[in-house]
Amino acid sequence: MENKVIIGRLLAIIKPYRSRAFLSFLMMAGTAVTEPLLAKALQLLLDKGFGPHRVAFSLWLVPAILLSIFVGRGIFTFSTAYLNNWVMSRVLNDLRRMVFDRLLRVPVARFHAESTGKIINTVIGEVRQVVDMVNSVFLAFVRDILVILGLLAGLLYMNWRLTLIALVVMPVTAVIVRTTAKRLRSLSRENQRVTEEMTQVVDEAARGHQIIRVFSGERYERRRFEQRSEALRGFSQRMTVASAATVPITQTTTAMAVSLVIVIAMSSGMTQGEFTGFIAMMLLLLAPLKSLVGVNGPLQRGMASAEAVFAMVDAPVEEDPGSKVIGRSSGHLQFDAVSFRYAADKPLAMDNITLEVKAGQTVALVGTSGGGKSTLVNLVTRFYAPESGRILIDGVPYQEIRLDSLRAQLSMVSQNVVLFDDTLAANIAYGVEAIDPARLAAAIKAAHLDGVVTQLAQGVDTAIGENGMRLSGGQRQRVAIARAIYKDAPILILDEATSALDNESEHVVQAALDTLMVGRTTLVIAHRLTTVERADKIVVIDQGRIIESGRHAELLAQNGIYTKLYQLDFAKGEQ
């Protein structure tokens, strides 16, 4: 992405706050004016207060003038800092809001293609880097330019010939900045990539701390972390060298210009005051010039971060071509010659699937791992769209229905329960603006969570921790069931909902599931076939195709793949 495009988009984000930004600009201009005023005051003090040409004046004018300059400078500096923070804090929130909003709307495939560390780093780290760049680079750039312009105006007014000599520093500075910019941008991109990898390592170490300890993975994880840490150190060192090397070169050039100015000034008949004022202004130029050269590193890091941030902001969202809003569905699902593959170079994950699930039916999907059961669920939830064929709900094709309307018809309980670091009530009534207490109580009762709630210190208002860590596995599963009961959607998806539980927990959870399934169309994925014997229809899927279909007794009588799977599952249960 070109720099001018990035700058244009950042300015568009700042635009709503332009009045405060303009006030900040005025305060920076006020700060810039105080620089030449101080040098001019020194010139007048030397010329009029000392030597044979001394002019009589009240000595109290000296502290009055100097204090006025520094007090004014202090007010301008404070106002600039306050206004900049006011603008930048809002820009930071707006930019994070834009990135997070897009994160919630990108296709599911994006989360399969990118690491969690990269996503977290973009939302948190890269956005912060961009705003820091705007605050410390662009605004500092404006301030330094104004100071330089103010000092140059004063220098030209005092002696334009000497000023032209001093200006030799400007093109040298520009060449140095341009030379180092490309290398700094390239190093920043690599630094960004390794930072994302480090974030991923830390995230996995935090989430998998139990596995790391049980399997003695501390050394392995430490090595992974140290490799990224050392790489970041190397990038930081190279970026510092590339950025810092410009400063002594600029300072040397400036020193040569100052030396030449002094020699010429001494032979030109300037007064002591004029000479002191001129040299003071030249020396005052050093700080903003050094600052301008120094911002090149943060600028390139910020630009690289801006590329990543705007790439996320511009990421395509889930396709939602439908326009129909449907009421509560009866739950009638149809798959009409549906085929699907996850990528063009991948084999078909669904191969010409035709299946009807009648309203209120319980249909179990069984088969070996990787056969296509989860893919079928991904299509039902419209996380992915078929490559060919159609999926219909109550006779209406999926493509014609708005996403929010379609997903309002669906609930899901899976083996990998996802709970949020919030209260029990908020997790059960997830996705609603206001919780209905009566509906919440009914969901808790139906999910057999009554006893759990009475044991919690604050009842349903108890925070359950990250991913429900303060609950047992069976309790977490029942919270997921209560969430589905509270939503009361007509179509229910059960994805290995009891496979990770012990016998006692499974018994309680299965009772809750039986309550949940009443009156709903239910799709059940299960490896333990004893849990699907009562299904209205059992569909055996292998390599993306429906191999067998029927009730439990019918499939056993066929003595086919289902019979072999059932016997294998039964044998495991006997062990």
pLDDT of res. 49: 61
Quick one: pLDDT band at residue 186, thresholds 50, 70, 90?
Answer: confident
pLDDT of res. 265: 67
Check pLDDT > 70 for residue 293.
Answer: no
Quick one: pLDDT band at residue 110, thresholds 50, 70, 90?
Answer: confident
* Whole-number Å distance between alpha carbons of 558 and 548: 9
* Whole-number Å distance between alpha carbons of 391 and 334: 6
Domain at 333-574, CATH homologous superfamily: P-loop containing nucleotide triphosphate hydrolases (3.40.50.300)
Task: Give the single-character DSSP code of 355.
Answer: E
For the chain, what are the domain ranges? 3-183+244-313, 333-574
Q: Are strands 388-393 and 491-495 parallel, antiparallel or unpaired?
A: unpaired
The angle formed by the CA atoms of residues 530, 535 and 540, to the nearest 5 degrees, is: 75
Instruction: Tokens for 417, please give them.
Output: 């329960």
| Among 94-103, 109-118, 324-333, 359-368, the least confident range | 109-118
pLDDT of res. 498: 67
Check pLDDT > 80 for residue 569.
Answer: no
CATH class of 3-183+244-313: mainly alpha
Q: What is this structure's pTM? A: 0.72
- The predicted-structure confidence for 496-508, as pLDDT tens digits, reads as follows 766 655 565 667 7
* CATH topology match: 3-183+244-313 vs 333-574: no
Residue type, 164: L
pLDDT of res. 221: 81
- H helix and E strand count, the chain: 23, 10
Percent of the chain with pLDDT over 70: 79
pLDDT of res. 461: 92
- The predicted-structure confidence for 195-219, as pLDDT tens digits, reads as follows 777 777 777 777 666 667 766 778 8
Quick one: pLDDT band at residue 388, thresholds 50, 70, 90?
Answer: very high
Produce one character per residue of 407-442: b if its CB has 16 or more CB atoms within 10 Å, e if not.
Answer: bbbbbbbbbebebeeebbbbbbbbeeeeeeeebbee
Residue type, 488: D
Long-range residue pairs from 66-74, CB within 8 A, at least 24 positions apart, any chain: 66/38, 66/41, 69/34, 69/37, 69/38, 69/41, 70/34, 72/30, 72/34, 73/31, 73/34
| One-character DSSP codes across 264-285 | HHHTTT--HHHHHHHHHHHHHH
Check pLDDT > 80 for residue 188.
Answer: no
pLDDT of res. 156: 78
- The predicted-structure confidence for 515-544, as pLDDT tens digits, reads as follows 888 888 999 887 667 668 888 999 999 889
Q: What integer is the mean pLDDT of 552-573? A: 81
pLDDT of res. 400: 94
Higher pLDDT, 224 or 313: 313
Closest by CA position to 296, among listed 151, 88, 190, 141:
141
